[in-house]
Chains A and B, each alone.
Chain A
Amino acid sequence: MERVILHCDLNSFYASVEELYHPEVKGKPVVVGGSEDERHGIVLAKNQIAKKYNIVTAETLWQAKKKCPDLIILKPNHKRYEEFSLRVRKIFLQYTDLVEPFGIDEAWLDVTNSKYFGTGKEIADKIREQIKSELGITASVGVSFNKIFAKLGSDLRKPDYTTVITKENYKEIVWPLKATEMIYVGKSSFEQLKIYGLYTIGDIANKDVSFLKKKFGKWGEMIWVFANGLDDSEVTRYDQKQEAKSIGNNITTFRNMENWQDVDIILNILSESVATTLRQRGLMAKEVSIYFRDSQLKSFTRQMQLNDYTNLSSVIFKTAKEICRQNYRFKKPLRTLGIRVRKLIEQTRHVQLSLFENFEEIKQQEKLEYTIDDIRSRYGHRSIKKLSMLVDQNLSDYNPVGENDNLTDMEDFK
């Protein structure tokens, strides 16, 4: 049976949410970005009007402002975006239980068995309408018989539009498109494809698969399958998917770390940053790993299991310290340190407290750290810090949460 897959993309998600809450900026160029005063704030999202000024995501705010002096910059409100994302997901779940989120603002839905609600296109239109009336933001939806074309479809016409790609029309719609329009074909891989005269998705589809496999390996075969609409990967059920596999952060200090005191200062900052991210995302972790890189740029990683799941910086710090002491001999000074936590679970899930852990102490520590979060969110990161941070203020004057925010999803430390 032919599958019916939707890919739903919330248009300029952050910017749309901010626009909803700031009706006065409607019709003006708007970007969402953090900490302009710290000079390295970047554009996280832009609205349609800002797009016309060629403002691109991830460029610095001052660059964007150069392109468009009247640009309105709004501070991001991640908690609100998560709330919206969750509400959108709830709308999806009214139509099917097969919902696979892809980031905060995209998702695939398998509505093959949702005929009760209508055809793929009818469901897509209903979902768009519902998102618009209930949440005040818009979405574009791609409807197709596989995930790849569905995603392509949602990118074709924005905002607030449904694009249907069928087995009958995909050759006309998809094949003339530039290869980079397809997922997994980035800029650098496109350069490789160009060498062999492969510019469009159709070029890839009509090329001999054995040739692609020979030249590009497994990836070559994969994009051929995608281009021909033969992808049969399933939409993973929402609750089966673990959102993030690990959270981490690393610091390359402006001077080398010469002794344990230096190391502890950095570990303290890192564990605070990682623990804060864990709490913000409502997660707890059970494994801590440390990334070492010495002054000769040689690096290695060591990890340790925790007795219990935690989201407390004190526990992460203690473990990190132990790993360091056990695994580093200080033959050379250290250049970079990183902390990453793995084996994540949602905080709301019930956790078996180990028998000998002091529950009261944990509760108190928890309270303390949440209070610190609260103070920092109100008065800024530097408003409160541990006394030990004052030993070397140059080394410790660093806001890893703000500065490395977008790095928390890195697959590895490098």
Chain B
Amino acid sequence: MKQFVDVICLNQKTGQIRPLYILWENGIKYPIDKITQIIPAASLRSGGMGLRFTCKIGNNYRYLFLEEGKWFIEKTQLN
């Protein structure tokens, strides 16, 4: 399943976009500690295609997709 999420981003002067926080439904703001990879990729699990950011949040890794201007995550955890 696709889970669309609110994301706080930094639009860099170089034109790049960098997600900083994921805002979860329960009001928790998860800081993205590190982005380890940015590549175009399809999400076969949740259905879609876009720019895929591999994000380190605490001790977990999660794929965050940017598709047509919207952010989504896959519902299953990577790790």
Using a CB–CB cutoff of 8 Å, the interface residues on chain A facing chain B are: 20-23, 84, 87, 132-137
Pick out which of these stretches binds chain A: B4-12, B17-25, B40-48, B56-64: B40-48
Contact B47–A134 (Cβ < 8 Å): no
Using a CB–CB cutoff of 8 Å, the interface residues on chain B facing chain A are: 39-49
In the complex, what residue of chain A is closest to B39 when comparing beta carbons?
Answer: A134
Contact A20–B47 (Cβ < 8 Å): yes
**With a CB–CB cut-off of 8 A, which chain B residues contact A22?**
47
**With a CB–CB cut-off of 8 A, which chain A residues contact B43?**
136
**With a CB–CB cut-off of 8 A, which chain A residues contact B48?**
20-21
Contact B42–A23 (Cβ < 8 Å): no
Q: Given the complex of chains A and B, what is the CA–CA distance between A22 and B46 in angstroms?
A: 8
Expressed in whole angstroms, the minimum distance between the Cβ of A129 and any Cβ of chain B is 12
Q: Given the complex of chains A and B, what is the CA–CA distance between A132 and B39 in angstroms?
A: 13
**With a CB–CB cut-off of 8 A, which chain A residues contact B46?**
23
Q: 18 other contacts beyond A20-B47, A23-B44, with CB at 8 A cut-off?
A: A20-B42, A20-B48, A21-B47, A22-B47, A23-B45, A23-B47, A84-B49, A87-B40, A87-B49, A134-B39, A134-B40, A134-B41, A134-B49, A135-B49, A136-B42, A136-B43, A136-B49, A137-B42
Q: Given the complex of chains A and B, what is the CA–CA distance between A20 and B48 in angstroms?
A: 6
Judged by DSSP, the binding face of B is strand
In the complex, what residue of chain A is closest to B44 when comparing beta carbons?
Answer: A136
Q: Given the complex of chains A and B, what is the CA–CA distance between A16 and B39 in angstroms?
A: 21
Q: Given the complex of chains A and B, what is the CA–CA distance between A136 and B47 in angstroms?
A: 9
Expressed in whole angstroms, the minimum distance between the Cβ of B33 and any Cβ of chain A is 25
**With a CB–CB cut-off of 8 A, which chain B residues contact A21?**
47-48
Residue with the highest number of chain A CB atoms closer than 10 Å, among B39, B40, B43, B45 = B40
**With a CB–CB cut-off of 8 A, which chain B residues contact A132?**
42
Expressed in whole angstroms, the minimum distance between the Cβ of A148 and any Cβ of chain B is 32
Residue with the highest number of chain A CB atoms closer than 10 Å, among B46, B48, B49 = B49
**With a CB–CB cut-off of 8 A, which chain B residues contact A84?**
49
Expressed in whole angstroms, the minimum distance between the Cβ of A374 and any Cβ of chain B is 17
Expressed in whole angstroms, the minimum distance between the Cβ of B37 and any Cβ of chain A is 12
Expressed in whole angstroms, the minimum distance between the Cβ of B36 and any Cβ of chain A is 17
Contact B42–A134 (Cβ < 8 Å): yes
Q: Given the complex of chains A and B, what is the CA–CA distance between A132 and B48 in angstroms?
A: 12
**With a CB–CB cut-off of 8 A, which chain B residues contact A137?**
42
Contact A20–B45 (Cβ < 8 Å): no
Expressed in whole angstroms, the minimum distance between the Cβ of B44 and any Cβ of chain A is 5
Q: Given the complex of chains A and B, what is the CA–CA distance between A234 and B48 in angstroms?
A: 36
**With a CB–CB cut-off of 8 A, which chain A residues contact B41?**
133-134
In the complex, what residue of chain A is closest to B46 when comparing beta carbons?
Answer: A23
**With a CB–CB cut-off of 8 A, which chain B residues contact A133?**
41-42
**With a CB–CB cut-off of 8 A, which chain B residues contact A136?**
42-44, 49
In the complex, what residue of chain B is closest to A25 when comparing beta carbons?
Answer: B47
Expressed in whole angstroms, the minimum distance between the Cβ of A80 and any Cβ of chain B is 9
**With a CB–CB cut-off of 8 A, which chain B residues contact A87?**
40, 49
Q: Given the complex of chains A and B, what is the CA–CA distance between A87 and B49 in angstroms?
A: 11
Expressed in whole angstroms, the minimum distance between the Cβ of A185 and any Cβ of chain B is 36
**With a CB–CB cut-off of 8 A, which chain B residues contact A135?**
40, 42, 49
Expressed in whole angstroms, the minimum distance between the Cβ of B43 and any Cβ of chain A is 7
Selected A-B contacts with CB under 8 Å, 11 pairs: A20-B42, A20-B48, A23-B44, A23-B45, A84-B49, A87-B40, A133-B42, A134-B49, A135-B42, A136-B43, A136-B44
Contact B39–A20 (Cβ < 8 Å): no
**With a CB–CB cut-off of 8 A, which chain B residues contact A23?**
44-47
Q: Given the complex of chains A and B, what is the CA–CA distance between A22 and B47 in angstroms?
A: 6
Expressed in whole angstroms, the minimum distance between the Cβ of B51 and any Cβ of chain A is 10
Q: Given the complex of chains A and B, what is the CA–CA distance between A136 and B43 in angstroms?
A: 7
Q: Given the complex of chains A and B, what is the CA–CA distance between A135 and B39 in angstroms?
A: 11
Q: Given the complex of chains A and B, what is the CA–CA distance between A21 and B42 in angstroms?
A: 10
In the complex, what residue of chain B is closest to A90 when comparing beta carbons?
Answer: B40
Expressed in whole angstroms, the minimum distance between the Cβ of A234 and any Cβ of chain B is 30
**With a CB–CB cut-off of 8 A, which chain A residues contact B47?**
20-23
Q: Given the complex of chains A and B, what is the CA–CA distance between A121 and B53 in angstroms?
A: 31
Expressed in whole angstroms, the minimum distance between the Cβ of B47 and any Cβ of chain A is 4
Expressed in whole angstroms, the minimum distance between the Cβ of A190 and any Cβ of chain B is 39
In the complex, what residue of chain B is closest to A23 when comparing beta carbons?
Answer: B47
Given contacts A134-B49, A135-B49, contact A20 B40 (CB under 8 A): no
Q: Given the complex of chains A and B, what is the CA–CA distance between A324 and B41 in angstroms?
A: 52
Q: Given the complex of chains A and B, what is the CA–CA distance between A135 and B67 in angstroms?
A: 12
Q: Given the complex of chains A and B, what is the CA–CA distance between A261 and B62 in angstroms?
A: 64
Residue with the highest number of chain A CB atoms closer than 10 Å, among B39, B40, B46, B47 = B47
Expressed in whole angstroms, the minimum distance between the Cβ of A272 and any Cβ of chain B is 28
